[in-house]
Amino acid sequence: MYLEHFGFQRFPFTIAPDPDFLFPSDGHQEALAHLQYTLTGHGGLICLTGEVGTGKTTLCRAFLAQTPADVRTAYLFNPQLSATELLQSLCDELGLSYEEDATQRELYALLNKALLEWYAAGQRVICVIDEAQSMPPPLLEQIRLLTNLETHKEKLLTLILVGQPELRELLARHDLRQLSQRITARYHLHNLSLKETRAYLRHRCAHAGVDAELFTAAAARRLWRASGGVPRLLNNLADRALLGAYARGVRLVDVALVKGAEREILGARRAGVLGQGIRTVSGRLPAMLALMSVTAMLVLAASFMPQLQERLSHWLAPAAAEPSSPLALLLADDHGAGRSVDTAITCEQLQGSHQCLWVDWPWLRLQGLQVPLAVQMNSADGTVWQRFSRSLNPALFAGRALVLWQPPAGYNGQLVRPGKKSDLILWIRRQLGMEWRADWQVISPEGQSNTIDSRFYDPLLANRVAQFQAEHGLSADKIIGPETLLVMQQVERGAGQSHLSAEGN
């Protein structure tokens, strides 16, 4: 094939879930951090979701490959089982022997006994269940029963449910609320952005042995548009484009080669929509007349049917917006009229206490923010960045936003989890009105006592953070990140305004 032509040591764009090729995008790193949260002993049930082909299985395999020696793991990838078969599969993965005609009760007792022995030996057990969106409710009820395997202080078995977005809908059912309430951490994996797609292509090629640009900037953008930022589809298209370059005897993939890959992978119809849109309206009409007619139809449809416009946005893929554009928009508005702003300014060039925060939060969450905010909106011509306004149509939201915020003192850009130390904890305590208990001590297994400082994220504060998160519609995972911090700042700002209003009265 093309390995020798390019100098690859192995195929760079296979669709196998190879952990060696895991791309460390912000989303994938965050998802991996949620999985690693299970190693702390705090997570009893974790839920990871994402669209087909976004890399969920690759993430799970990477996580399992990194687990310490004192962690036993099981990986179940066939959710179409009976409750008994599920327990049998779990026993098989953990190396437990059982009678062929063993009942559910006997299998459950066998698991409980083994888990207690491993716990006494200082070993943890983690089970990953892939494609969980296909599990019927009765089987999910068996999952709930497995979460009951515990001591007075800790869970004996940590379960990780991995599935497509339908899993979130399934867990939201009223009859599964008991299971849903046991989930201690949730994360939804999103598609790659244009910037991440370019880095992804380079990353895969480098890990296959070629640390060089093999795709032009225009070709990378075309791949992103055609794949929608889905890694699996991106792999298929990039592999076929490299094959086309090999057939031509060239070492750089251009747009023409990507278009050829689209026709082979996506089919002529969709490739035509992505590439030329409306060229095939009618061979009997002059090209210009056909173009004008269809354009008029699209304009009318977009005017009267926003939902149609939203659907078209998935086919007429967004034109990439420069990362600096939304920042310049926010700075221009904040600096006021009459003062020019350099549109080439980047987030790294920001001075003072403001920072950029790129987010993919839902529209309802963005509505509640009281900070400078720009959102990416779909349009007939691609996507455009606009200053957030309640008059915008939420149905056209492209899923990406830029928040210009002032992080609280002590924030260093890292998530803070229970049991960790951070200068940010001092600010959190003030916001939640929880003074530091200076008599907290850490007792080692040998009986040694160490006094800890006020930056320690202790269990009492963690419970209070979870309560705050639940009260404000956040995931009550006790993890302190930008979303929790922004809401806390907003609550503080609202309290300050109420105090001033009371004084004025």
The reported pLDDT for the residue numbered 254 is 93
User: What distance in Å separates the CA atoms of residue 356 and residue 320, rounded to the nearest whole number?
Assistant: 19
The reported pLDDT for the residue numbered 280 is 37
Q: How many residues in the chain?
A: 505
Our CA dihedral for 174, 129, 208, 211, rounded to 10 degrees, sits at 40
Numbered ranges of CATH 3.90.70.10 in the chain? 324-405
pLDDT single digits (tens) 149-168: 887 777 888 899 999 989 88
The reported pLDDT for the residue numbered 314 is 35
pTM above 0.75, yes or no: no
The CATH code for residues 26-189 is: 3.40.50.300
Q: In the chain, what percentage of residues exceed pLDDT 90? A: 21
Spell 273-284 as b/e; 16+ CB within 10 A means b: bbbebeeeeeee
Alpha carbon separation from 410 to 118, 423, 425 (Å, rounded): 39, 5, 8
Helix (H, G, I), strand (E, B) or coil at 262: helix
What does the mean pLDDT of the chain come to?
78
Residue 317 binned pLDDT confidence (cut-offs 50, 70, 90) = very low
| Average pLDDT score over residue span 295-302 | 50
Structure letter (DSSP) for residue 101? T
Q: What angle do CA 31, 37, 41 make, to 5 degrees?
A: 160
pLDDT at 97 over 90: yes
pLDDT single digits (tens) 207-221: 999 888 999 999 999
H or E, element range at 355: strand 355-359
Residue reference for tokens 């946005």: 313
pLDDT single digits (tens) 433-474: 887 655 555 554 445 555 556 788 888 888 889 888 888 877
The reported pLDDT for the residue numbered 415 is 83
70 φψ region: left (φ > 0), alpha (ψ -120 to 50), beta (else): alpha
pLDDT single digits (tens) 63-84: 888 888 888 999 998 777 888 8
Burial class (CB in 10 A: 0-12, 13-18, 19+), 120: exposed
pLDDT single digits (tens) 37-57: 777 665 578 899 998 888 898
What are the DSSP calls for 10-68, one per residue?
A: S-TT--S--GGG----HHHHHHHHHHHGGGGT--SEEEEEE-TTSSHHHHHHHHHHH--
Structure letter (DSSP) for residue 449? E
The reported pLDDT for the residue numbered 394 is 83
- Listed in sequence order, the residues at least 6 apart from 20 whose beta carbon sits closer than 8 Å to its beta carbon are 207
The reported pLDDT for the residue numbered 438 is 54
CB 6 within 8 A of CB 246: yes
Numbered ranges of CATH 3.40.50.300 in the chain? 26-189
Best CATH choice for the domain 3-14+192-275 from the list 1.10.357, 2.60.40, 1.20.950, 1.10.8: 1.10.8
Q: Looking at domain 324-405, does it have CATH number 3.40.50.720? A: no
pLDDT single digits (tens) 374-432: 888 887 777 788 889 888 888 888 888 888 888 888 888 788 888 888 888 889 988 88
The reported pLDDT for the residue numbered 169 is 87
User: What is the 3 state secondary structure string of 139-201?
Assistant: HHHHHHHHCCCECCCCECCEEEEEECCHHHHHHCCHHHHHHHHCCCEEEEECCCCHHHHHHHH
Q: In the chain, what percentage of residues exceed pLDDT 70? A: 77
| Average pLDDT score over residue span 82-110 | 91
Least reliable range by pLDDT among 110-124, 270-284, 472-486 = 270-284
The reported pLDDT for the residue numbered 308 is 37
Helix (H, G, I), strand (E, B) or coil at 5: helix
| Average pLDDT score over residue span 485-494 | 82
pLDDT at 36 over 60: yes
Numbered ranges of CATH 1.10.8 in the chain? 3-14+192-275
The reported pLDDT for the residue numbered 95 is 93
Residue reference for tokens 């030329």: 276
pLDDT at 148 over 90: no
User: What distance in Å separates the CA atoms of residue 197 and residue 219, rounded to the nearest whole number?
Assistant: 11
Residue reference for tokens 């003072």: 352
pLDDT at 336 over 60: no
The reported pLDDT for the residue numbered 14 is 87
- Listed in sequence order, the residues at least 6 apart from 405 whose beta carbon sits closer than 8 Å to its beta carbon are 354, 355, 357, 371, 372, 482, 486, 489
The reported pLDDT for the residue numbered 312 is 35
The reported pLDDT for the residue numbered 494 is 66
Burial class (CB in 10 A: 0-12, 13-18, 19+), 504: exposed
Residue 182 binned pLDDT confidence (cut-offs 50, 70, 90) = confident
Query: Token pair for residue 450?
Result: 């160490």
- Listed in sequence order, the residues at least 6 apart from 211 whose beta carbon sits closer than 8 Å to its beta carbon are 202, 205
User: What distance in Å separates the CA atoms of residue 167 and residue 131, rounded to the nearest whole number?
Assistant: 9
User: What distance in Å separates the CA atoms of residue 282 and residue 239, rounded to the nearest whole number?
Assistant: 34
Structure letter (DSSP) for residue 131? S
pLDDT at 170 over 50: yes
pLDDT single digits (tens) 102-130: 999 999 999 999 999 998 898 889 999 99
pLDDT single digits (tens) 348-364: 667 667 788 888 788 88
